[in-house]
Chain A
Amino acid sequence: MKTVLVIGGGVTGLKASSELAEMGYNVTLVEKEDYLGGQVAKHKYYKLAPDLRLAGEVIDPVIKAVENNSNIKVYKHSHVAAVSGNAPEFKAKIKNSKGESEENFGAIVVATGFEHFDPTVKQEYGYGRFKDVVTNAEVEEMLNPGGPTNGELKRPSDGETPKKIAIFQCVGSRDRQVGNPYCCRVGCVVSTKQAIEIKEKYPDSEVYVYYMDMRMFGRGWEELYGKAMEEYEIIFTRGRGAEVTLKNQQLSLRAEETIMDRPIQHSVDMIILAAGMAAGEGTIEAANVLGIKQNDYGFLEPKDDFVSPNESSKPGIFIAGADKGPMDIENCIVEGAAVAAKVASSLKN
């Protein structure tokens, strides 16, 4: 039986590994961090949209399915340094602090995922300059009882609970200025979910969402958006957050209320940037090591988006999940299972 190399221990890589192992294949899973779970674990995602169920309910079983399967060998804190050979005879060099080993594989699955867009480059938003301008990932950590603030939303500047909160959509997405003209696909629903969580926890707070379009295409997303407006009185303003300044020690934002056709200034206590998805360092590194094609934005390019969505530009190397482009957790799990099936059928031939 051939061994499959899976690169990346996030949701997609975990699901692919456990599915392959259940089919009887040996799997070697390589993860660069010293924990499994990818971005979900890294940023301590608390609740998932649209059901507001705990992220742990979803990610823990996926991790356990890998850890409890003896067909899977997990290398944490490791990376794939070099790959040689062709399908179905690959040789991969796996490196970590203890040294390096070379192993043979029949197929390779790349599930290196995404990274949250770093909003520092959007200088006009003041991220990194103003302490109370935070990212949506930082808010996830704060809202998680196991996080740095024990589940409380606190202003980084003074530890106070903010009363007026603005959320900026599309930070680093739909933006040619930063080279990411694509939609991040999750910002809308994550912002709406976070706004509801904040209103649930702090009913006296005011939450404003600055958006261009609300792209609520997923299961139950549109309903969540309706609930946010009707039940939680979250205020959605159509206009992109344009600039953040500090006025009398308070954050002041500029936007245009494009429905009312007027430019506005708005003083708030905290601004949450719904930072989008960018191709992660791991994805770029994997593309270089394996010599597989990337698109204009650094994501991996399938051999054919419609016909062979999980095959890379090279035979025997498969791709899945958010390393192909922005993707939510639900779809990453589907992708993990899909790539496992594709690998299994290719190894049979």
Chain B
Amino acid sequence: MSEENKNPVTEKIESAKGGHFYKEIMKDFRIKESLHGCLNCGTCVANCPAAAFYDYSPREVCQMMIEGDEETIEEYMKGKIWNCAQCYSCKYRCPKENSAADIVMAMREIAVREGLAEEALAGYTRIAKLVLTRGNQLAPDMLSPDAFPDWGPRMIELSSKKMEMREELFKGFPGMNVVDRAWAAEDYTIFEMQKIWEESGALEKVGTVFPFLVDIVQDDMDDKRDEMEVKINEKKAKLEASKK
């Protein structure tokens, strides 16, 4: 059979499944338990809060992984998978017990590793900075009607008086009377957390997407380092004493 007469459909599927990203995703330990074929029933999409508001479909995620088309997978890893809210409704409703949410989580990790995530994650810079410098990811003043349509009108209405509400709700807890972060942690706690980011290699991973955030965290740590080292030694001594 000549080159021109080959069935183009068969050829596409065969070559597509050999793709690098496809293989990397299939290697992930979660995939075996997350994909048992797909009935195309749409239960996952019907229950998916992300599908209701954004350009995302858990059914497409499963279909895509069954078909294994490398180009589609790459496109997804750069864009649509970042719209999943990781609520796992798809997993708990799917009649095939598939879990698009788990597939998405594996794809996200690989996308970060493979350098496909920068553009999609650019919008999360503020959240990432907050996590790395304050220890919590969302702040009440990040709530805006444009950013979170899926939170509904009631939440938007309440967001206009969040400081008053917080002061009322958390009387006697000054750490909670803030709106630029979820709560105010002590300097020592933040420093400890940052040290964990650093030593576990997580900070380095963050650096592949947000290189400038690594500098911010390191500056932040340097500012506090001397003071914190003293505290750490104090705590160590205390611990030693309690052992005796």
- To the question of whether A and B form a pair in one complex, the answer is yes
Judge whether B95 and A255 touch: CB under 8 Å.
Answer: no
- Residues of chain B lying within 8 A (CB to CB) of residue A239: 41-42, 46
What per-residue 1/0 map shows which CB atoms of A229-241 lie under 8 Å from chain B? 0000000001110
Judge whether A240 and B97 touch: CB under 8 Å.
Answer: no
- Residues of chain A lying within 8 A (CB to CB) of residue B44: 256
Judge whether A263 and B41 touch: CB under 8 Å.
Answer: no
What per-residue 1/0 map shows which CB atoms of B95-119 lie under 8 Å from chain A? 1110000000000000000000000
What per-residue 1/0 map shows which CB atoms of A89-130 lie under 8 Å from chain B? 000000000000000000000000000000000001000000
Judge whether A263 and B46 touch: CB under 8 Å.
Answer: yes
Judge whether B51 and A263 touch: CB under 8 Å.
Answer: yes
Closest CB in chain B relative to A60 CB, distance in Å = 38
Closest CB in chain A relative to B150 CB, distance in Å = 13
Task: For B42, give its contact among A177, A213, A257 (CB under 8 Å).
Answer: A257
- State the interface size on chain B (CB cutoff 8 A): 21
Bound Cα distance from A264 to B45, whole angstroms: 9
Judge whether B96 and A256 touch: CB under 8 Å.
Answer: no
B39 within 8 A of A: yes
A348 within 8 A of B: no
Which residues 139-189 in A have Cβ within 8 Å of B in the complex? Answer: 170, 174-177
Bound Cα distance from A69 to B209, whole angstroms: 83
- Residues of chain A lying within 8 A (CB to CB) of residue B46: 239-240, 242-243, 254-256, 263-264
Task: For A258, give its contact among B36, B42, B92, B96 (CB under 8 Å).
Answer: B42
Judge whether B52 and A124 touch: CB under 8 Å.
Answer: no
What per-residue 1/0 map shows which CB atoms of B34-68 lie under 8 Å from chain A? 00100111111111100110000101000000000
Which residues 173-229 in B have Cβ within 8 Å of A in the complex? Answer: none
- Residues of chain A lying within 8 A (CB to CB) of residue B47: 124, 242-243, 254
- Residues of chain B lying within 8 A (CB to CB) of residue A254: 46-47
- Residues of chain A lying within 8 A (CB to CB) of residue B126: none
Judge whether B40 and A212 touch: CB under 8 Å.
Answer: yes
Judge whether A256 and B42 touch: CB under 8 Å.
Answer: yes
- State the interface size on chain A (CB cutoff 8 A): 21
- Residues of chain B lying within 8 A (CB to CB) of residue A264: 46
Contacts known (A174-B39, A263-B52); A256 close to B45, Cβ less than 8 A: yes
- Residues of chain B lying within 8 A (CB to CB) of residue A263: 42, 45-46, 48, 51-52
B81 within 8 A of A: no
Which residues 214-259 in A have Cβ within 8 Å of B in the complex? Answer: 238-240, 242-243, 254-258
- Residues of chain B lying within 8 A (CB to CB) of residue A213: 39
Contacts known (A175-B95, A176-B36); A240 close to B52, Cβ less than 8 A: no
Bound Cα distance from A44 to B48, whole angstroms: 39
- Residues of chain B lying within 8 A (CB to CB) of residue A240: 39, 41-43, 46, 95
- Residues of chain B lying within 8 A (CB to CB) of residue A175: 95
Judge whether B42 and A242 touch: CB under 8 Å.
Answer: yes
Bound Cα distance from A264 to B92, whole angstroms: 19
Q: A177-B95, A242-B42, A256-B44 are in contact. List 14 more A-B contacts (CB 8 A).
A: A175-B95, A176-B96, A177-B93, A177-B94, A212-B39, A239-B42, A242-B46, A242-B47, A255-B46, A256-B43, A258-B41, A258-B45, A263-B42, A263-B45
User: What are 8 A-B pairs at a CB distance below 8 A?
Assistant: A176-B36, A176-B96, A242-B46, A243-B47, A243-B93, A256-B43, A256-B44, A256-B51
Name B's A-contacting residues (CB within 8 A): 36, 39-48, 51-52, 57, 59, 92-97
In order of increasing CB-CB distance, the 9 nearest A-B pairs are: A256-B42, A242-B46, A240-B41, A256-B45, A239-B42, A175-B95, A254-B46, A242-B43, A258-B42
